[in-house]
Amino acid sequence: MQITFSYENINLMILLIGVTIILHLITLRARKKRVVKFSNFETLQRVVGKKMFQNDYIILLLRILGVTCIILGLSNFTIITTGNISNFDFVLAIDTSSSMSTADFIPNRLEAAKDASLYLLDIIPKGTRVGVVTFAGKPYKKIGLSTDLEKVKNVVENINFEAPAGTAISDALLMAGTIASESNRSKAIILLTDGKNNRGVSINESLKFVKKNNITVYTIGIGTNMTINLTQLNLSKTLGKELSEGTLAEFPDLDIKTLKQISNVTGGRFFLASNRTSLRSAYEKTVIEAKLKRLNLSYYLFLLGIIFFLTEWALGATKYKTIP
């Protein structure tokens, strides 16, 4: 078992705990001064008891626990355990837009993506069901979930550049999610692209569908941040006039922010591949990641923090109420 959380809010937690302690001590000192104003302090002490100020440390403890739980809740506190990869089904979503012809991967990005996908099909356990979706300006269903991995490999090997122009990441997510949702096992989408979503529905809309069906999405960004002019590429013969004319612009930068959003929201992970080795490694890591079961405790920590604060308030208003 492994526990993970973001360290971004740790400094804030330390600061708030320190402020809580300082404010508590200041308040306690002020209360003592108010009690001393009683003309008959000995009588008050006999009624309340000699330890009438020591119980305040219980209040302090509850406040510290409340602050700690809230901050840990904001820090994506997660428990990770190892599961069984054979209980997973995958859908590969591969970008086939014209920018995937960029030659920073030899011979190009698409061929490198196909090679890495074939590598993935070699390392997943037998019995795993795999589907394939491709996408350019719109998505295409190549094959539904199948345990015949040789058939899936044949589909992958025959993937080529497609029209129309554009990169419909959101629509590809919807189609891949629809295929994955047919599984009654754990399911994941491995989405590879070198661009940004510029066609179809919004990313948020597709994410709602994916989350509703409990699908984990692993995103892979491919490329070396090269900027090319597609007018320099002779695409008309392989892609058709519509696609070649529709992409006469500089290659768009990889939208890492959106890819991270997709993976984070669905409990997956984002990978950046700048060469064939890192690309294969990214696919391999998706299999390793799929073995891991994550339990995000943020909601429960928020709830526990509220309970601590309510308990502190209740005790302060009753048993430990300030006198006078």
Q: What is the pLDDT of residues 151-210, one digit of tens each?
A: 999 999 999 999 999 999 999 999 999 999 999 988 999 999 998 999 889 999 999 999
Point out the least confidently predicted range of 10-24, 89-103, 268-282, 309-323.
Answer: 309-323
Other Cβ atoms closer than 10 A to 7: 8
The mean pLDDT value of the chain amounts to: 81
- Among residues 174, 117, 186, which one has the least CA distance to residue 141? 174
* pLDDT at residue 52 tops 60: no
Q: pLDDT band at 223, cuts 50/70/90?
A: confident
Q: Is the pTM of this model over 0.75?
A: no
Q: Are residues 16 and 110 both part of a single domain?
A: no
Tens of pLDDT along 93-134?
A: 999 999 999 988 989 999 999 999 999 999 988 889 999 999
Question: What is the identity of the amino acid at 78?
Answer: T
Q: Are residues 134 and 154 both part of a single domain?
A: yes
Q: Which long-range contacts (CB under 8 A, 24 or more apart) does 71-74 make?
A: 71/9, 71/10, 71/12, 71/13, 71/16, 72/5, 72/13, 72/297, 72/298, 72/301, 73/297, 73/298, 73/299, 73/301, 73/302, 73/305, 74/9, 74/298
Q: Are residues 138 and 72 both part of a single domain?
A: no
Burial, 33: exposed, middle or buried (Cβ in 10 Å; 0-12, 13-18, 19+)? exposed
Q: Are residues 75 and 88 both part of a single domain?
A: no
What pLDDT is stored for residue 154 in this prediction? 97
DSSP state of 66: H
Q: Are residues 140 and 237 both part of a single domain?
A: yes
Q: Are residues 76 and 120 both part of a single domain?
A: no
Q: Are residues 94 and 182 both part of a single domain?
A: yes
State how many domains the chain has: 2
Q: Are residues 161 and 44 both part of a single domain?
A: no
Note whether residue 323 is domain-resident.
no
Note whether residue 324 is domain-resident.
no
Q: What is the CATH number of the domain that holds 115?
A: 3.40.50.410
* pLDDT at residue 30 tops 90: no
* pLDDT at residue 298 tops 90: no
Q: Are residues 151 and 14 both part of a single domain?
A: no
Q: What share of the chain is helix, strand, coil (3-state, %, to 5)?
A: 50, 20, 30
Note whether residue 322 is domain-resident.
no
What pLDDT is stored for residue 90 in this prediction? 95
- Among residues 92, 295, 64, 106, which one has the least CA distance to residue 189? 92
What percent of the chain stands above pLDDT 70? 74
Mean pLDDT on 46-63: 65
What pLDDT is stored for residue 236 in this prediction? 46
Residue 256: left (phi > 0), alpha (psi -120 to 50), or beta?
alpha
Note whether residue 278 is domain-resident.
yes
Q: Is 2 helix (H, G, I), strand (E, B) or coil?
A: strand
What pLDDT is stored for residue 270 in this prediction? 94
Structural domain including 122 reads 84-290
Sign for the pseudo-dihedral over CA of 152, 156, 157, 163: positive
What pLDDT is stored for residue 247 in this prediction? 42
79 DSSP β-pair partners: 3, 295
